[in-house]
Amino acid sequence: MKKYLTIILAAVFVLGFAASALADAVTAKDDTKITLGGELRVRGWYLDNASGTRRAISTPTDGVSQGWYDERVRLRLMADVTQNTSGYVALETSSGTGDSNTWGNLNSKQGGVISILEAWILHKGSGLLGIPAGLKIGHMPLALGEKQFLDHTKFGDDAIVFFMDPSKELHVGLLTAKLSEATSATNSAADIDGYVGLLVYKLDKDNTLGANFSHVNYSDGELAFSNFGLHANGMLAGLSYNTELDLQFGDESPTTEFGGYGFLLGLGYKMDPVTIRGQFAYGSGDDDAADSKNKEFQVTSGNDIHYTQIYEYTTRTAASAQDLANSGGRSSGIANTTYFRLGLDANLTKDLMASIDGFLLNATKAVDSKKIGTEFDAKIAYKIDKNLTYAFMVGYLDTGEWWEDSVLTGTPSEREANNKNIIQAMHSLVLSF
């Protein structure tokens, strides 16, 4: 596989140097249009009072601070063969399951490998009963609604997507995705497959409604899970909004059923150059592991920030009964989590923007205290030049008693002494082309 990846990468570089600029379109002899592009990202990190090394799943701890740099390279190629048929390839540096390589190799070549981030074929037209329709096959980013239940936009899945647009307002989609291909090293009988149907209707140029149904099953029959989602976003009378409701059911095992649900509501009001935002999210939890129902909201959210910089992206979460993701792992969305958010965005100048957010975080269900803590996040981004942006973000998690009651070990006084507030900061320089 590495041999073929090397060949693909070499081809991208050859085509790149043949073009006057990587972002330019190149027309081949058969009129195929090839567009090249990419991105270089360098980041510096600071982390204090977190148990994990370099953003490994963390808990609050009285420890030494950490600092490091990492880098990521992306190369993209879009081939428009005809008006109806195209292909896309995106390559990315990676290290293990991450997407970046950490600096510091003592005069050695950068570690890691080149991985395929996306690779898909798209064909669309109006040949099916005169209705615009299409087929997309390959490895691609996937998400549903407001991304509360399913968000695989960071690394993607292998999928087959059929879609059609019966009218200019209505979009219909059907897809199947291979979420996990079992091997002899895991369980030869247990592939994990996903099947999704969705409808999205555009009420007008500003408002959209949608519904989706997802079914996930293990091929050995040990799990059959379903999620029904409703979502909407848009603007009414100057007030922006986004909302999602997910209801879950199915069989976790012959003796246990799913019964979780999640809800999101966000509102915003723009008073140029400032936008004020408010948001509430609720993901159900399970406070009785002995009964026959798993009531915790299940997520398949990807390894990325959806709301907080620290609690969701760095520390372990309150999730404890996940079957579609790691229990207690990082990036488990709103599983067993309730939060209130108040934020502000400001376009300070044409090239400078800033935002600040405050979060009140609670475990939806807990043995004792539900108070995860209060988090404050801030970000500033400055456009230095065309496609060149510098950004700085910082987060502060004022941890609550939930950590002492549910996560930290030792005597009560030891748990209290080790329950330290976490600080995380990151700055980045990104060049896209």
DSSP code at position 297: P
More confident: 29 or 377: 377
Give 288's strand partners.
none
pLDDT at position 100 is 76
Q: How many CA atoms lie within 13 A of 48 on its CB side?
A: 10
Q: How confident is the model at residue 253 (pLDDT cuts 50, 70, 90)?
A: confident
Question: Does the pLDDT at position 200 exceed 70?
Answer: yes
Highest mean pLDDT among 190-204, 278-292, 340-354, 411-425: 340-354
Mean pLDDT across the stretch 249-269? 93
Residues of the chain above pLDDT 90, percent: 68
Q: Where are the beta strands (DSSP E) in 170-223?
A: 170-180, 192-202, 208-218
pLDDT at position 104 is 81
Question: Does the pLDDT at position 312 exceed 70?
Answer: yes
Q: How confident is the model at residue 66 (pLDDT cuts 50, 70, 90)?
A: very high
pLDDT at position 288 is 83
Mean pLDDT across the stretch 233-250? 96
pLDDT at position 3 is 41
| 379, 354 contact by CB (below 8 A) | yes
**Burial (0-12, 13-18, 19+ Cβ within 10 Å), 264:** buried
> By mean pLDDT, which of 282-286, 303-307, 382-386 is the weakest?
303-307
Phi-psi bin for 117: left (phi > 0), alpha (psi -120 to 50), beta?
alpha
What's the CA gap between 302 and 254, in Å, rounded?
A: 28
Question: Does the pLDDT at position 423 exceed 90?
Answer: yes
pLDDT at position 248 is 97
| Structural domains for the chain | 2-432 (2.40.160.100)
pLDDT at position 95 is 72
> By mean pLDDT, which of 17-21, 29-33, 178-182 is the weakest?
17-21
pLDDT at position 191 is 82
> By mean pLDDT, which of 97-106, 167-176, 182-191, 343-352 is the weakest?
182-191
For residues 90, 91, 92, 98, the Cα torsion angle rounded to the nearest 10 degrees is 80
356 Cβ contact partners less than 8 Å away, ≥ 6 residues apart: 343, 344, 376, 377, 378, 379
Mean pLDDT across the stretch 314-339? 85
pLDDT at position 43 is 96
pLDDT at position 97 is 62
pLDDT at position 291 is 85
Mean pLDDT across the stretch 34-44? 96
| 320, 327 contact by CB (below 8 A) | yes
Q: How confident is the model at residue 170 (pLDDT cuts 50, 70, 90)?
A: very high
**Burial (0-12, 13-18, 19+ Cβ within 10 Å), 311:** buried
R_g over Cα of the chain? 23
Q: How confident is the model at residue 335 (pLDDT cuts 50, 70, 90)?
A: very high
- Name the average pLDDT for the chain: 88
Question: Does the pLDDT at position 21 exceed 50?
Answer: no
Question: Does the pLDDT at position 310 exceed 60?
Answer: yes
Q: What's the gap between Cα 174 and its chain centre?
A: 21
| 261, 281 contact by CB (below 8 A) | no
420 Cβ contact partners less than 8 Å away, ≥ 6 residues apart: 49, 60, 61, 62, 63, 399
Mean pLDDT across the stretch 101-109? 78
pLDDT at position 11 is 40
pLDDT at position 202 is 97
Q: What's the gap between Cα 117 and its chain centre?
A: 14
Question: Phi and psi at residue 420, in whole multiples of 5°?
Answer: -95, 150
- Prior bond of 412 cis (ω within 30°): no
Nearest to 82 by CA among 136, 139, 28, 37: 28
pLDDT at position 311 is 95
pLDDT at position 127 is 77
DSSP code at position 421: P
**Residue carrying the six token digits 């507030």:** 421
Nearest to 370 by CA among 407, 344, 343, 342: 407
Question: Does the pLDDT at position 401 exceed 50?
Answer: yes
What's the CA gap between 62 and 421, in Å, rounded?
A: 9
Q: How confident is the model at residue 325 (pLDDT cuts 50, 70, 90)?
A: low
pLDDT at position 323 is 83
**Residue carrying the six token digits 């090394």:** 53
State the pTM of this model.
0.88
pLDDT at position 130 is 85
Angle, CA 391 vertex, CA 389 and CA 393 arms, to 5°: 165
Task: Dump pLDDT digits (tens) for 43-53.
Answer: 999 999 999 88
Question: Does the pLDDT at position 186 exceed 50?
Answer: no
Mean pLDDT across the stretch 368-391? 97
What are 425's two structure tokens?
A: 């900061």
pLDDT at position 28 is 58
